[in-house]
Structures are given as C-alpha cells and as structure tokens.
Amino acid sequence: MKSSQPYILGDSQRAARRLEVQDAHFAAVSEQLLDDLALMPADRVVEFGCGAGSFSKRVLRRLGEGGVLIGVDSSEGLLHQAKALCENLGPARFEPVLADIAKLGSWLEGADVVTARTMLHHIPMVEFLLGRLRARLKPGTRIGFLEPDFRTPLGRLAYLEATGRPELAPLSMWGTAINQLYLANHISPAVGATLAQTLSMAGYRNVRSAWVETRSDALTVENMLMFYDEVGPRLDSLGIMSFGEIARQCRLLRELPTENLPPAWGIFRVACEA
C-alpha cells in the first residue's frame, strides 16, 4: 500500500495564492477550530501539511513566549513560502520541517497540540495514520482538524439545476472534477464525513464534530479557476476533463454572476483529545 505520494495540487507561487484565497474562505471556521483547541501561549503545536503557511499564521498569532509551531510539509516550495510568511511573526517560534507526515517522525515528540487544515484527505487510507498517531501522543494531547466536503453540496446543486437554475452547472462540474481527480489518485475526497467516527474508533476522547457550508462568492470562483489552471493537464491526461472542456468550464465560471450562489463546499471541523 502506498503511504504517500506527491501533493496532487500545485506547489508554485500561484498554488500559494490559491491557498491564500482558501484561507480567506475558511477564516471563520479556522478561528473556531483554534478556539476548540484552547491554545496556550507556550504550547508546542504540530501542524500537518502547513502548505504556504496561512493557517500557521493564525496558530502563531495565538501562541506566545516559549510557544513553538512545527509546520510539517512534503513540498519544499510551499514550505519555503511558509518560512518566509511565518518567521519573525511574534514571540512564538516557527520551525518548518520537510517530511512526509505519514511517517510520524521525531518532530512529533512533545506535542501538546496536533492540527491540520484541509490536509488529511491527501493521505491514502488516512485512518491508519490516525490510529498510529494516537499511539505516539501523550494522553491529553489536543487534536483538531478541518476537512473539506466537496460532495454533500452536490445534492442541493443538482436539485437547483433541475428546478430552474441551469447556470449553476459549472459549480457541480467543478465538484465532479475535484472528486474524480482525488479518486484517480487513490485518495478519498470524503475523509471528513467519517473523521469523527474514525477518531472515536481509534480511542480518542471527547470527540466533537461540526459541519458548516462555506459561502460561494467571487473568491470561490477564483479558487475554482486556479484549480483548473493548476491541474488542467492532469485532468486531461487522466481522461477526467479535456482541455477544450476545461476552457469551456472556465468561461462559464467567469460568466457566472457571483451574487446569490449556493454553497459548493462544506467543511468538517473535528476536535478531540488523545
């Protein structure tokens, strides 16, 4: 079984911009997760898949003197950008670590908190990792994850399209493309839906789970366009969507009025203790 693979989205400056757009999109739910984690100034926090550092910045703002954030990512390009963004932000220290989180290295030692935003679904069969993670943590370690949901909103989108809003089709096409890309890479786009149950089964305590939908607006559409821009060649080569169809979908997205759009994403927020 493959434990990890290259990050299937991009790691360029443009990918970092997409993650920044995503951060604005997930601002409220990110802060709620950090409230759940009850961060204390001197905590040692380990962040899985910190990417270009936009969630890391939010964590660091809540830490103080003696606090440390270990940002672990397998993409050198994104980690480099995280370093530039997060160094010298305040009293707490940022330590970037280039590693595959599936291997649970020595960087995990002494963690008071383990967190990740929109990351777990990039790990094939992440349930194994979550079980092994609990075995490595000291009891009481606080855990918090945000995982996106690209599937459940498709039910409402399909209903709306069938009842007089055909212009919403590019939102569902995008949802289909991202789901199919993940499935073609043997990763599950729906890890969040079963995350609370997985953590309970692995013996984590006090598991709390919430689901919220995220608004659809001009930022959402920008994010979708960037997705096509980054992974277009892979969508084409995997037979998920041809270049011609991608160009058509991008045009339809650009033409879509951004007022009054129904959500195309949800997000699961799950917290517990080891």
Residues at the interface with ligand SAM (CB under 6 A):
4, 7, 19, 23, 49-51, 54-55, 72-75, 78, 100-102, 117-119, 122-123
Cα distances from 44 to residues 49, 68, 69, 118, 183, in angstroms, run: 16, 5, 6, 21, 34
Contact 178, 227 (CB under 8 A): yes
Least separation in angstroms between residue 12's CB and ligand SAM is 12
| 122 versus 142: smaller Cβ distance to ligand SAM | 122
- Residue 194 and residue 211: Cα distance in Å, rounded? 12
| 102 versus 271: smaller Cβ distance to ligand SAM | 102
Q: What is the DSSP letter of 106?
A: G
Least separation in angstroms between residue 121's CB and ligand SAM is 8
Least separation in angstroms between residue 161's CB and ligand SAM is 27
**Closest among 23, 33, 60 to 45, alpha carbons compared:** 60
Contact 122, 240 (CB under 8 A): no
| 75 versus 141: smaller Cβ distance to ligand SAM | 75
| 12 versus 200: smaller Cβ distance to ligand SAM | 12
Q: What is the DSSP letter of 138?
A: P
Q: List, in order, residues 6 or more apart from 1 with CB less than 8 Å away.
A: 124, 125
Cα-flanking dihedrals φ and ψ of residue 207, to 5°?
-75, 125
Helix, strand, or coil (residue 154): helix
Least separation in angstroms between residue 165's CB and ligand SAM is 29
| 44 versus 117: smaller Cβ distance to ligand SAM | 117
Contact 145, 270 (CB under 8 A): yes
| 75 versus 223: smaller Cβ distance to ligand SAM | 75
Least separation in angstroms between residue 232's CB and ligand SAM is 17
* Packed helices 13-25 and 27-37: angle between N→C axes, nearest 10 degrees: 70
Least separation in angstroms between residue 251's CB and ligand SAM is 26
